[in-house]
Structure 1
Amino acid sequence: MKQSLHYYRLSFLDYLKQFRGYSDLTLKTYDEALSEALPLIELEESPDQTILNLMPYRIHIAALNPKTISKKLSALRSFVEYLKEQGELVKLEADQSIKVPKTLPKPVLHEHIERALESATLQERTIVVLLYTLGLRISELSGLKLEVISLEWIRVSGKGNKVRDIPLIASSRKIIETYVKEFRPKEFLFEKAGERLSENSLRYIVTKLFKKVGLKVTPHQLRHSYATALLNNHARISDVSELLGHASMSTTQIYTKLGSTLKMDNYLNAHPLCKAEDAN
């Protein structure tokens, strides 16, 4: 059965890419988890079913942080569901969920983004502005084709090939038009030598730009900034959830908690009694 599992691992990864539309980075995460786990999983085979006991693997990864363990277990659960769909009689044991503390997103202040853009090249400016004004994932930006960009909307293919339309503001459209005129891409908005620019290349461009102004910023933080700005300016959470391409509105609700945290920070910094307590 173990040999079969390694064969299924490859077909599972192909399925995630071809039919679920997973990004290369997500596929790499799944592959690493499965490649690490399969040699350690204990198999208990019987005529009725095969039990995959994760306990030896759970012991192996016990020292990792809870979020990493949770991601690895999630990949294994998805893999076992795939095995069942292929007709294999399998059952997973010792896959109990681990409690992961929720962390608030870390948006970038608008003035910090503006400061970084002051010294940006046309390519850097276009990348950062689109991440900030469209709330895109880096994989979505990398796969953005010219044909999906219209005068007022951009059609984005997100996780699981889920399609959504995002409004394109006039200033962002103007930057795109200038960029296309200068770089003349053929199929994808961001290309290099006729191929789409990779997620890692885009990520490097963003981090390098913000490093110039002494900030450590990731593309995903710009997505957080987009969501936080909308909610702080009274956009409906259901609309923001749809614009972000979230499968569940509960994922979007974490930004409302962030808004409350920021309001409390502003209050503590502004109220004279709070300042008086700090002085004492």
Structure 2
Amino acid sequence: MNEIEEAAADWLDQLRVERGASPHTVSNYRRDIDRYIADLESHGITALAGVSPVDVERHLADLSAGRLTGRPAAASSVARASASIRGLHRFAVVEGLTADDPAASVRPPRQGDHLPKALGVDEVARLLDAARAGEGPAGLRDWALLEVLYATGARVSEAVALCVDDVDLDDELPVVRLLGKGRKERLVPLGHVAKEALGAYLVRARPGLAARGRGGARIFLNARGAPLSRQSAWEAIQRCAERAGLDRRVSPHTLRHSFATHLLEGGASVRDVQELLGHASVQTTQIYTRVTATTLREIYRSSHPRARAGAATGADGLESGT
């Protein structure tokens, strides 16, 4: 193990143990750093002091152009790789492993302002109705999973990590305890339909699944009785989307986007939605206000008689007066 690899191992351990980063985040950073270290080694660089800003910039440029992986990386992937590399070198300086930070002045490529693609309320209803129509223990589990994701806006990693003790279905307004990024806990209400779906699964399906394996206290289990994985949760949503006849890609994050968008359209404040989503900054939540504004503009253009180009300048049948 060379000097950079040793520093990377210590940095990733710090992220996991001291800063409480999720396994998913640590895994992504590890993949970025492993690729970075391999690239440096291919250029004969194995010591922290041997890395220059030019090396960092070249790596990110090669990643963006596809020279490292065979296909161009998305701007978001390059941005994350840049954050990983900057985190590693900043750690090395703070720990006294090297005097200079070659990544300090390097900035990731500017990302496009991609708005989340939320489902319409009617599309969510179709999706959840399709989930409810599923058969057997897996059908009950998938229905409960989708209802919980849409009712709480949970990240898929938060949903599959739920344990039996994290849910209180006895209150008039049930709640779930979600463990978010940085291991921050938040309580989120659970609506009536989600309570019904989760209760049905816990009583009629989960005991049989749990008897097959060692899922422990986890709520959502697979057919072998083991904890449901993020990938399996994604596949469950895809199955329900296909049954619902939705001709678009639907992911767990689609339900999270839909949850936030529908709350704002229903009158919830950005601050309230921030708390429910577990966002550290309200700026992250504010992207959804642009989503709803876009929706309103589309409604206006399609509905108002004088909103479109070429509208007549006459009365157009509109009543005069106040």
Fold match, TM over 0.5? Answer: yes
Query: Using CA pairs below 8 Å that are at least 6 residues apart, which structure has the higher relative contact order?
Result: 1
After superposition, give the CA deviation of every residue in 1:29-88 in whole Å (9 maximum; x if it has no partner): 212211111133475979xx6654313313322313322211110111122233334332
**Shift of the alpha carbon at 1:168?**
1.7
**Shift of the alpha carbon at 1:11?**
3.4
Which residue number in structure 1 is paired with residue 235 of structure 2? Answer: 204
Which residue number in structure 2 is paired with residue 135 of structure 1? Answer: 153
Which residue number in structure 1 is paired with residue 109 of structure 2? Answer: 98
- Give me the whole-angstrom Cα distance separating, in 1, the residues matched to 2:193 and 2:152: 12
- Give me the whole-angstrom Cα distance separating, in 1, the residues matched to 2:295 and 2:33: 40
Tell me which amino acid in the other structure corresponds to 1:225: S
Contact 2:160–2:229 at 8 Å: present in 1 too?
yes
Question: Mean alpha-carbon deviation: is it higher for 154-163 or for 110-119?
Answer: 110-119
Tell me which amino acid in the other structure corresponds to 1:232: E
SS of residue in 2 equivalent to 1:99: coil
Residue 175 (structure 2) pairs with residue 153 (structure 1): yes
**Gaps spanning 5+ residues in structure 2: where?**
66-72, 135-139, 211-215, 313-322
Question: Mean alpha-carbon deviation: is it higher for 135-144 or for 88-97?
Answer: 88-97
Tell me which amino acid in the other structure corresponds to 2:146: V
After superposition, give the CA deviation of every residue in 1:232-280 in whole Å (9 maximum; x if it has no partner): 111111111011010100000000011110000011111123468489x
Tell me which amino acid in the other structure corresponds to 1:92: P
Contact 1:268–1:274 at 8 Å: present in 2 too?
yes
SS of residue in 2 equivalent to 1:164: strand
Residue 194 (structure 2) pairs with residue 163 (structure 1): no
Change over 3 Å in CA distance of 1:45–1:143 after alignment to 2: closer
- Give me the whole-angstrom Cα distance separating, in 2, the residues matched to 1:217 and 1:105: 12
- Give me the whole-angstrom Cα distance separating, in 2, the residues matched to 1:241 and 1:264: 24
- Give me the whole-angstrom Cα distance separating, in 2, the residues matched to 1:217 and 1:132: 12
Pick the structure with more strand per residue.
Answer: 1
Tell me which amino acid in the other structure corresponds to 1:170: H
Change over 3 Å in CA distance of 1:68–1:278 after alignment to 2: farther
After superposition, give the CA deviation of every residue in 1:139-185 in whole Å (9 maximum; x if it has no partner): 10111111111132211110110111111223222221111012125
Tell me which amino acid in the other structure corresponds to 1:56: R
How many percent identity over aligned positions?
Answer: 26
Tell me which amino acid in the other structure corresponds to 2:193: S
Contact 1:40–1:56 at 8 Å: present in 2 too?
no
Change over 3 Å in CA distance of 1:52–1:200 after alignment to 2: farther
**Gaps spanning 5+ residues in structure 1: where?**
none
Contact 2:128–2:143 at 8 Å: present in 1 too?
yes
SS of residue in 1 equivalent to 2:101: strand
Contact 1:132–1:226 at 8 Å: present in 2 too?
yes
**Please, what TM-score do these two structures have when normalized by structure 1?**
0.88
**Please, what TM-score do these two structures have when normalized by structure 2?**
0.78
Contact 1:20–1:159 at 8 Å: present in 2 too?
no
Change over 3 Å in CA distance of 1:65–1:171 after alignment to 2: closer
Residue 63 (structure 2) pairs with residue 34 (structure 1): no
Question: Mean alpha-carbon deviation: is it higher for 198-207 or for 183-192?
Answer: 183-192
Moved over 6 A (4+): none
SS of residue in 1 equivalent to 2:197: helix
Contact 2:19–2:182 at 8 Å: present in 1 too?
yes
- Give me the whole-angstrom Cα distance separating, in 1, the residues matched to 2:158 and 2:192: 20
Which residue number in structure 2 is paired with residue 116 of structure 1? Answer: 127
